[in-house]
């Protein structure tokens, strides 16, 4: 028996915690393109200055492995470390383009905001249907994102009213939470909704996100495969993997 018949949720689930980029909206591809534009410009300038061979940021492999699901600073550090580049963290006031973690991250953010302003944001119809059905069944819903732009993306996509609670990059900074793959953000959402982790389901498209769900011992971890990484999602912690949240719904 399920909490909400036809929604693929175990009986004990009282809350659903949804990642934003790649689960609710198509902004994961916009983030990946913004990271590539920023890192390629930095790596090319570094190559021109130091004579190092230029190898660009891979918008699929590098994004999935080092950046996806992480905070802006953590994603910047992770990719740079993969290239054996060690930069200072810098200061939050560093201008975009400063050779620091903060400066490069600010460049990426400006590119991302420019792209969503130019191209807009689309929410996945299957995800909207699923969240509305979950809410109608009396199950709590929260959006949990590492992005500091979460609120702006929700508003641009017209789905801010779907969620009772938002835990995002701004919350991470304010409450000094550890970002994904640590479970802290999802645990914070569960606490705020008044449920235990084993009473909550996590919905993630990022490898770091399903790792966070597994680390937090949540009642269900759903991997959402938008880019052909179903096996990796399962290996990193997803209990089940679907191509779209609508796949969880009983077709009747």
Question: Would you list the domain boundaries of the chain?
Answer: 15-26+122-248, 29-119
What's residue 127's pLDDT?
Answer: 97
pLDDT tens for residues 183-233?
Answer: 999 999 999 999 999 999 999 999 999 999 999 999 999 999 998 999 999
Res. 102: pLDDT tops 70: yes
Whole-angstrom Cα distance, residue 54 to residue 105? 20
At residue 87's C-alpha, the angle toward residues 83 and 88, to 5°, is: 155
- Global pTM reads 0.86
pLDDT tens for residues 60-77?
Answer: 999 999 999 899 999 999
What's residue 251's pLDDT?
Answer: 66
Mean pLDDT across the chain: 94
The SS3 assignment for 156 reads: helix
Res. 252: pLDDT tops 60: no
Whole-angstrom Cα distance, residue 222 to residue 157? 22
What's residue 122's pLDDT?
Answer: 92
Catalytic residues: 19, 21
15-26+122-248: CATH, from 3.40.190.80, 3.40.309.10, 3.30.1490.20, 3.40.50.1000: 3.40.50.1000
At residue 73's C-alpha, the angle toward residues 211 and 157, to 5°, is: 75
């Amino acid at each position: 028996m399920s909490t909400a018949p036809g929604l693929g949720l175990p009986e004990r689930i009282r809350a659903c915690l949804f990642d934003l980029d790649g689960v609710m909206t198509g902004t994961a591809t916009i983030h990946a393109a913004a990271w590539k534009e920023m890192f390629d410009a930095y790596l090319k300038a570094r190559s021109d200055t130091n004579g190092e061979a230029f190898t660009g940021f891979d918008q699929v492999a590098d994004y999935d492995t080092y950046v996806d699901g992480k905070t802006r600073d953590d994603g910047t550090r992770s990719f740079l470390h993969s290239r054996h580049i060690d930069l200072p963290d810098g200061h939050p006031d560093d201008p975009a383009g400063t050779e620091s973690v903060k400066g490069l991250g600010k460049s990426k953010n400006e590119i991302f905001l420019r792209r969503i302003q130019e191209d807009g944001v689309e929410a996945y119809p299957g995800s909207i249907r699923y969240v509305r059905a979950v809410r109608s069944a009396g199950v709590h819903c929260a959006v949990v994102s590492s992005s500091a732009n979460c609120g702006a993306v929700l508003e641009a996509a017209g789905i801010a009213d779907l969620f009772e609670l938002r835990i995002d990059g701004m919350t991470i900074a304010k409450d000094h939470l550890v970002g994904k793959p640590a479970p802290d953000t999802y645990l914070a959402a569960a606490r705020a909704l008044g449920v235990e982790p084993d009473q909550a389901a996590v919905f993630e498209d990022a490898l770091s996100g399903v790792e966070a769900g597994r680390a937090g011992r949540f009642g269900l971890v759903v991997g959402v495969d938008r880019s052909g990484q179903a096996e990796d999602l399962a290996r990193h912690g997803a209990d089940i993997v679907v191509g779209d949240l609508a796949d969880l719904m009983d077709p009747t």
